[in-house]
Amino acid sequence: MTVEFEMPQTKQVVVQKFGGSSLATEELLRKVAKRVAARREQGADLVVCVSAMGDTTDELLNLAHRLSGDYSPSPRETDALISTGELVSASLMGIAIRGLGHDAISLSGRQAGIQTDETFGSARIANIEPARVLREIKRGRIVVIAGFQGLTPADDTTTLGRGASDLTAVAIAASIEADVCEIYTDVDGILTADPRLVPDARVIPQIGYEEMLEMASLGAKMNPRSIEMASVHKVPMLITSSFNPHAAGTKIGNLEDQNSNMEIRKSITSIATERSVARVTLHGIADRPGIAAAIMMPLAEAGISIDVIVQNVSSHGLTDMSFTVGQEYLQRVAEITSQNTEVGYSDIATRDGLAKVSVVGTGMTNSPGYAARMFRALADANVNIEMITTSEIRITCIVDQEHVATAARALHSEFELEAD
């Protein structure tokens, strides 16, 4: 009598995502294919999500705008158009991997089971039906998925918004319960600061989802929605270099579990910076419920994101409110706000040429001294603070754009981020 054993499944399931700059040319695409094949040869089950090659998406968008005359191109047609960029890179990647002797299959977002709502241009993923992806993995194939796209219930192709191939990768990783979702970029990982401002900046070895979320919305090049999704579904991530195979990268995950019994040695993870910030201040507005909404709603409707908002204490029923926007929106914000008949104010003042500098780290919550250290370090460096805002894991100062490098360097040094 023969007894057959089923070997326990120990193979690692890895989702890898390569962005447009990693696939900008035929030669780069070939390099990525080799890298995928090498990983395969180490034994992992692989799903590879790809963006469109280089500037394909922008070129298609420009063409659409030129052809649509006085109208804006229909969002549905625009999505049908630009989603082809990822189809091209996915099938080419499938062909290149097969050319290296490995079985591979490319799938569109639809074929990979990515179901979205009908918000063309920035659709939300409603559900993932991973049956086909799992079937192809089981067949021993490397599955290459066109990122950035999905399908509506009405059978139309959507795109998920700029930079959302990351989101495809994380969503697929969550749906197939992958061991890790690796995001390959043109940097070695998430840095402690912008290296153009702070020469000492170094790669952060690991970071929690929440800290990463603060940094993603503060200018680090990661799609915040993908971090959110990874956090909700507890998908471990690795951000690393597509060009440098020796980069260790940055692990993103739930650090609480690992660190719960350990002293958190370093509470500040990084210094985030953002240039080209402008401020709008409304003086003498009525301090009544709903006034903030009345100011913000018309801006939201115009698609303008407000960032830092500061409202001073009221005196005599009147108050001042300041908020920041990307510098490019300043004129439009001033126009919209001055035409806003719902809001009375005595004066409107604008200022551009500002920048944002933040210290980010989970350890801050329980250690009140960080804000004081930050303000002191900026003062010692002769950097004047224009506005301040804080969250549980972040302290942000608005400063003059000319001082942003000085500020970042001072803070990087103050919190000893250059040390390994």
Contacts with its own copies by CB under 8 A lie at: 26, 29-30, 33, 60, 63-64, 66-71, 73-74, 76-78, 80-81, 84, 87-88, 90-92, 94-96, 98-101, 104-106, 108, 111, 132, 155-157
Question: In angstroms, what is the minimal distance from the CB of 53 to its own copies?
Answer: 10
- Nearer to its own copies (CB atom), residue 76 or residue 332: 76
Return the number of the residue (92 or 203) whose C-beta is nearest its own copies.
92
Partners of residue 394 on adjacent β-strands? 360, 391
The torsion angles phi and psi of 104, rounded to 5 degrees, stand at -145, 155
In the complex with its own copies, which residue's Cβ is closer, 74 or 384? 74
Kindly tell me which of 28 and 393 has the beta carbon lying closer to its own copies: 28
Find the shortest distance in angstroms from Cβ 95 to its own copies.
Answer: 5
Nearer to its own copies, 107 or 238 (CB): 107
3-state secondary structure of 362: helix
CB of 158 to its own copies, least distance (A): 13
How near is the Cβ of 265 to its own copies at its closest, in Å?
48
Q: Which long-range contacts (CB under 8 A, 24 or more apart) does 370-376 make?
A: 370/267, 370/268, 370/395, 371/395, 373/414, 373/415, 374/411, 374/414
With CA atoms as reference, report the closest residue to 264 among 173, 361, 180.
361
Instruction: Output the smallest distance, CB 117 to its own copies, in A.
Output: 18
**Min dist. Cβ of residue 109 to its own copies (A):** 13
Nearest to 110 by CA among 72, 150, 145, 156: 150
| 3-class SS of residue 150 | strand
What are the C-alpha distances in Å from 286 to residues 281, 291, 300, 307, 339?
14, 7, 21, 22, 17
State the burial class of residue 133 (Cβ atoms within 10 Å of its Cβ: 0-12, 13-18, 19+). buried
